[in-house]
Amino acid sequence: MKKKILVILGVLAIVVGTNLFTAASLIYGYSNSNSAGNVKIKYLEDFIKQNYLYDVKDEDFEVGKLKGLVASLNDPYSEYYTKEEYKELMEFTKGKFFGIGVVITKGEDNLITVISPIKGSPADKAGIKAQDKIIKVNGEEYSADKINEATKVMKGDKGTEVEVTIYRPATGETKNIKLKRDEISVETVIKGKLDNGNLGYIGITEFDENTANDFNKALDDLLKDNVKGLVLDLRGNPGGIVESASAIADRLLPEGMIVYAEDKNKNRVFEFKSDDEKLSIPLTVLVNEGSASASEILAGAVRDYKAGTIIGKKTFGKGIVQTARMFPGGDGIKLTTSQYFTPNGENIHKKGIKPDIEVDLPEDVKGIGLDYLKEDKQLQKAIEVLKKNL
């Protein structure tokens, strides 16, 4: 009997709701179908104000409408930003912020997904990996539609603690990790030497406004020291500014197309080409699951020109481009506006770039790069390949 009553009550609620919407149309003076959405929004606002347990402000509604409009696209890379959020977005491209040092995105499973930890950051040192899912912060659950709120909680003063709960799909493991926040001042270019100085190493952690200049300086220094080969490490690099990645590709590749992008009408919205000057020594490029976006532009161009050997694991697979636009009030939007193609005309979105030589890292590896050469199997393979090509 109780089940039947619940069903009837549900039907009554629908009928009453419909009548209220109809009444609202008459009260607010709307009579055509184009205004039906406005009527529903007004009705919902009034209903929430009258019945919601907590106080709600009109400005919360306005922000919610704008965020909802973009969220309706179901695109994890497109988002409306408040003035404060847009400022934080621009600060990130300049390479300095406070927090745990992890680049995240909205996963298609509506979970906060790690693109990559920033090398040397608290998240990196704690063993957080690409494709991990952050499901809780300080014990509170966050889904992908709450990614901005989760980000705010993960940020904080240097030395303060935050606990994140991660789920690792590859193993089915869930664990809590306590991290100390730190200043994440990203040195995007790391330079070094290998094999007793015979080989050069350049690691790029992301592509910001200064990355191309820093890369050129590092490469010039290594070439002056007469290195015979170069390891370019793009592992864990989540991308960044396309112009920076293309400028670096120009330094490495022969004359021709580096990358081009098209909008939904097949109009070419940008393209970058290289000149006839190219790197004259053997090249290996390290990639992994955390290499995304602009990293894949660079790796894809090297692959298509056969200008170097790609080593590691298949990349993240982000072949679409976002445009950031600030509005007069300081708020703004990041919107997917085009998709990019490698020189051979391939779009790698949701596919990634498969390395020429696939190499796994030990599950218990403590780190990658110059400081972890003895356990970094991928870097060891890059050195091996270079020495064979000398």
Backbone angles phi, psi at 268, to 5 degrees: -80, 115
Let me know: does 96 contact 118? Beta carbons within 8 Å: no
Task: Pull the structure tokens for residue 82.
Answer: 């408040």
3-state secondary structure of 390: coil
Beta-carbon contacts of residue 127 (< 8 Å; ≥ 6 apart): 177
Task: Pull the structure tokens for residue 187.
Answer: 């040195």
Residue 113 CA from chain centroid, whole number? 9
Let me know: does 141 contact 135? Beta carbons within 8 Å: yes
Could you tell me whether strands 309-312 and 357-358 are parallel, antiparallel, or unpaired per DSSP bridges?
parallel
Q: Which of 129, 133, 318, 381 is catalytic?
A: 318
Helix H or strand E encompassing 83: helix 83-93
Q: Is 336 exposed, middle or buried (0-12, 13-18, 19+ CB in 10 A)?
A: middle
- Annotated active-site residue 158? The verdict is no
Name 106's bridge partners: 112
- Annotated active-site residue 304? The verdict is yes
**Inter-CA distances, 95 with 103, 170, 240, Å:** 12, 30, 10
Helices in 29-57 by DSSP H: which ranges?
Answer: 36-51
Q: Which of 304, 313, 334, 338 is catalytic?
A: 304
Q: Is 184 exposed, middle or buried (0-12, 13-18, 19+ CB in 10 A)?
A: buried
Q: Which of 121, 244, 246, 293 is catalytic?
A: 293
**Using CA atoms, how far apart are residues 99 and 23, in angstroms rounded to an integer?**
50
Name 180's bridge partners: 161
Neighbours of 105 (CB within 10 A): 17
Let me know: does 298 contact 321? Beta carbons within 8 Å: no
**Using CA atoms, how far apart are residues 348 and 320, in angstroms rounded to an integer?**
9
Three-class secondary structure assignment of 335-347: EEEEEEECCCCCC
- Annotated active-site residue 318? The verdict is yes
Which amino acids are annotated catalytic? 293, 304, 318
